[in-house]
Amino acid sequence: MMLLEDMGLLDKARIYGSDLNEDVLETARKGIYKYRFNKEYVDNFEKVFNLSADQTRTVRNIDHRKYFTIDETRDQIRMNSFLREKPVYAKIDLVKDQNLFFVNFDLIICRNVIIYFNYELQNRVIKTFHDNMHDRGCLLLGLHESILGPCSSYFAKDDFFYYKK
């Protein structure tokens, strides 16, 4: 959402967040996270928004407070309200549910989930993603995840991204 905002596209986007665990969804709604646990993400923010690719010079000067505040004494990162309130949140079980949002997606980000599924279940979930994506929609999986088996023919892989064929 920060990248979309930076590009002037957040207002045009519909964002959906889902998880099987209602506590995780409630944390996302509140937008309060442990600072020490997530400090790496703050460092990544600086790399993405403020440093050149070779990290030798600042290319922009975007203050993180545009998106979140840090309170080190409380060990908290708090997302600003426009980021907390933008997504529609829903509890979804990828094993049982098809698409509770009733929309087709341009981008699905499903990181570090299917790695825990067996081969058959992975393909069933990937097929569900495929069926609920626009043509040339994009799927982003976790670093150690990939599409294997019959569903691999449904996507063209480009680096970390899978594009619907």
Residues 72 and 39 in one domain: yes
Is there a single domain that holds both residue 73 and residue 125? no
With a cut of 90, say whether residue 101 has pLDDT above it: no
Residue 149 within a domain: yes
The domain of 80 spans 21-85
pLDDT score at 53: 59
User: What is the reported pLDDT for 54?
Assistant: 64
Q: What's the CATH number where 100 sits? A: 3.40.50.150
Number of domains in the chain: 2
Mean pLDDT of 151-155: 95
Query: 140: which strand partners?
Result: 109, 161
Region at 131 (left for phi over 0; alpha for psi -120 to 50; beta for the rest): alpha
**Domain assignment of residue 54, yes or no:** yes
The verdict on 103 and 147 lying in the same domain is yes
0.95 cut: is pTM over it?
A: no
Q: What is the mean pLDDT of the chain?
A: 91
Domain shared by 98 and 76, yes or no: no
Average pLDDT over residues 129-141: 95
26 and 53 inside one domain = yes
Residues 104 and 159 in one domain: yes
The answer to whether residue 39 is domain-embedded is yes
| % of the chain exceeding 70 in pLDDT | 94
The residues near 39 (Cβ < 8 Å, ≥ 6 apart) are: none
* Structure tokens belonging to residue 114: 């299917």
